[in-house]
Chain A
């Protein structure tokens, strides 16, 4: 069985080229860049902050910082590392500033709507399967939101940001083994949290 999963992040060279073009005065390049990274970045911010309204403000702030510091990007780090370091710092600043300890309540329809958890792709499966997937998404989102912050940020950077473990370590300023360890704990916690929903994953006979 081949378990390796393809990472679906845009080409880094393309992102850096667009950023350089914007630094040289091409506003359209910035729009294209945001089109490439916006969805993932916003998803990371939403899941990191667990607050859609706050995520919008922070996302806006991150884009402003990106535009301001476009000429300061010196290519010593990879674009994704640089971008998600900005994003993480902005999220942490916002969390500290607002001192929000509120956790996402998946059962709250507002929270679900704000976090886009009710948004389903258009090419969704049939209704029964769609209901199952919705329930699955709800459970996974809840499990991820309940992860400890250190594990959550590693998980989000890996899954939403598409960074390698080495890049995550560079972004967070910690060691590679620390990142892997946090990731292991995060996965173990997710598996444990979703064990009761084994049937959703077809694992009922195995768990």
Chain B
């Protein structure tokens, strides 16, 4: 039988839309089949329905209501203990612990080390540079800071070194690592920490290159070699260092005489090829000391009455000479100088005479008019000995105006030389 006919039979049996009610167009066989099925279905429908169990409704209602109220109750203890939330929480705790206890990366460690040791405020007992400079300025309120730049630089450097040394120690873990005690292969950080300390010293006041050179043997040796090979570089380096130190002092010190420190003239570092190493500078200073300074100039520049004590560089004889100059005992000066060369004697007499011509600056000189006589006599004697007779005659004229007796005495003494002209 074709499916279309079977569908027609279904439609005929169940009377749904599209059915062929009355079985139109059915063949005899289809009609017989439909009748048979109709009888079977009628017999099936005529079968008694099974009786549902009594009380099932009430029981179902009771179960439904009890189960719905049970929904509100909390989780059973077993489910609470083995809830997945605890697993997630435990995993989170483990990850956090690992992250906290894991060693930091090297970059982060160096940054932390730098921050803890050098970027935090200095300890209370550490010397305050600004305070020291302020005190110094207060001590001389009317004077602009005239101390030598090298001296300030030395003090500042020492202060910085003290500050860095007195900085609080690193955290225990970091300190242990820095000392090579920390586990996990971080012993090499000790060297790194030392290097960082050196670099931190160098950072301050723009003198990092000089300080690093001072602390690094390789750099120092290299610098010394280059400086010895090129003296002009060393001179430029000295100049650059001096200027840098001056600028650093101006940056850090308090305003002097109401002038803000930043408005003070800052000398540009021109021609600064490389900073001079400390050892080279010291060697140059010693060399300078070793050279005999012109004693005459030093004695003449010395203010009368102020430098009674001889400098360590003077010999015993020179000390006597200095003492004589300081106390305006020019006769003694002339006697001491006369044992030496006439050139120096002449220079000293000229300078001392020039000092006498100045307005009265010290009481010793102004009250001794015979000093002029002595000095003029000395000058004339030296000029005659050196053969400058014309100059000697002029000096004799000056001497004659002051002391004719002394002038005549000299003319008689050196009559031959004066006449030989």
Q: Which residues of A contact B (CB under 8 A)?
A: 1-6, 27, 30-31, 34, 38-43, 46, 52, 55-56, 59-60, 63-64, 66-68, 115-117, 119-121, 133, 136-137, 140-141, 144, 158-159, 164-165, 180-181, 183-184, 187, 190-191, 194, 200-203, 206-207
Report the minimal beta-carbon distance from B366 to chain A, rounded to whole angstroms: 126
Does B38 contact A137, Cβ atoms closer than 8 Å?
no
- A5 partner residues in chain B, CB cutoff 8 A: 13-15, 38, 41-42, 45
Q: Confirm or deny: B124 has a beta carbon within 8 angstroms of a beta carbon on chain A.
A: no
Within the assembled complex, what's the spacing in Å between the Cα atoms of A27 and B60? 11
Within the assembled complex, what's the spacing in Å between the Cα atoms of A98 and B56? 22
Within the assembled complex, what's the spacing in Å between the Cα atoms of A159 and B61? 28
- Quick one: which of B16, B37, B51, B60 contacts A64, CB cutoff 8 A? B60
Report the minimal beta-carbon distance from B40 to chain A, rounded to whole angstroms: 6
Report the minimal beta-carbon distance from B413 to chain A, rounded to whole angstroms: 146
| Chain A interface main SS type | helix
Report the minimal beta-carbon distance from A122 to chain B, rounded to whole angstroms: 10
Contact with A along B1-35 (1 / 0, CB 8 A): 00100110110111110010111000000011111
Does B38 contact A3, Cβ atoms closer than 8 Å?
yes
Interface contact tally, CB-CB below 8 A: 149
- A201 partner residues in chain B, CB cutoff 8 A: 36, 39-40, 43
Does B22 contact A1, Cβ atoms closer than 8 Å?
yes
Does B57 contact A30, Cβ atoms closer than 8 Å?
yes
Interchain residue pairs with CB less than 8 A apart (7): A3-B12, A3-B15, A5-B45, A121-B48, A140-B43, A187-B13, A201-B43
Known: A38-B52, A181-B3. 15 other contacts (CB 8 A): A2-B21, A3-B23, A5-B15, A6-B15, A42-B49, A42-B53, A43-B49, A56-B56, A59-B53, A66-B60, A137-B46, A140-B40, A183-B10, A191-B40, A203-B39
- 7 tightest A-B contacts by CB? A4-B15, A63-B60, A116-B50, A67-B64, A42-B52, A38-B52, A34-B57
- B23 partner residues in chain A, CB cutoff 8 A: 1, 3
Name the CB-closest residue of A to B6. A184
